[in-house]
Structure 1
């Protein structure tokens, strides 16, 4: 096993990404130690049940066409873990990923020692922090962040996204997000922050009501794409 393989194995032994612990406490603590990299550039956050990944790729393509430097965080990866963190459309090379890991790991150890809510940093939280750190270091002009699961408690939501995109909402991860479209939409609506722009795909009526109410409640400006 080479050094990169050892690092990947170490990261992936953390609490798996398909298990959501409903708190932002750990990612907030780690990002604070990293100097809050999530605040270094505007954030476009993408949630939803279907089409998140392709939507992020389309947004990235449009921003690159505008000659902007773009960081994109997505999941899962197909072959190499660096695919999750892309800068200008290119995945992090193994050596770059390893260097970034070595920067983040000592600070993650501090957060792990606290075991906030009884859990150390999860795999997805660690990767999210690495992405924000990579984008701040690059630096990029815009960060495009794909939500892993839900929205409100997803670690990408440590950022106050300037633009919240919600792809079609349907039944998914019901053991965590809820048993109705309304409950699931409520979780995903958590990415819509006060004063932000909300771009909403055509939704089932139950989801549309929840998302529209969230926009009204926080003073977000909604735009519906049909």
Structure 2
């Protein structure tokens, strides 16, 4: 009798283990929807000591605290395209980088990004950014996937927190964030007051027309883009650094 019970328990455990294993899916291609949120109030310049703060209060009152925009990310193996959702207002005066489109080929480490600088569109082709990630033990669930946290510094001073899942194999992510052992589903720049988090992951075949690099704009590379910004903002003072940082994210 005892042997029969043990045999039944063994069969039940084996069945459950196999069933659980079948539920684990490692995605190579598909479509991810990201929501980007920018805290506009936190990014506003506060009045200096002794300065009349009436303008600040008025601006704060007439500006929504958060600017929320949606982006689409299509990936097939090591090729991906990140772009604004079709309904987004890419000419929003608060954030020019709303129109960023980033095409990435991880196997050849090439990135082609379309970015807006004032009224000019730039197509920036350069190497994929190398990020020195430090993976931690912290985890959280994003869009139904278990993710692990990693931290990094980019552009010399921008602190990045990212969450990736190894259940989605390509090592890409939103904007130009790549280089982790899986796909990045969440990014936060705490000091810049910006976050990107996946809201939906769809396993589907990706059509070739969904993975075309951007072509509309002045062709350049990272160095050329920086020179264009510096020339256009030579009298901006500290404002130049903020614009450069936004453009190179």
Relative to its length, the structure with more strand (as a share) is 2
Whether the TM-score (by the shorter chain) exceeds 0.5 is no
TM-score with structure 2 setting the length: 0.25
TM-score by length of 1: 0.27
Max Rg structure: 2
Of Structure 1 and Structure 2, which has the larger fraction of its residues in helix? 1
